[in-house]
Amino acid sequence: MVVNRKPFVTSGKRKTAIARATFRPGKGRVRVNKIPIEIVTPEISRIKILDP
């Protein structure tokens, strides 16, 4: 039996900045504002995002 799950969309705001994240079951790729997490700078931001 295959369960079809809908994507979970969330966002965060601070002052005028808005960050959007979409969670889908799949390959485990992480993107912030449609940008792969591997190229997000500074590195401390990546560490905080990937921290459980």
Dihedral sign, Cα of residue 5, residue 7, residue 10, residue 42: positive
Rounded mean pLDDT, 6-14: 86
Q: Return the bridge partners of 35, or none.
A: 32
Dihedral sign, Cα of residue 22, residue 27, residue 35, residue 14: positive
Q: What percent of the chain has pLDDT over 70?
A: 94
Look up the pTM and report it.
0.54
Residue 15 phi/psi, 5° resolution?
Answer: 55, -115
Q: Return the bridge partners of 13, or none.
A: 18
Rounded mean pLDDT, 16-44: 83
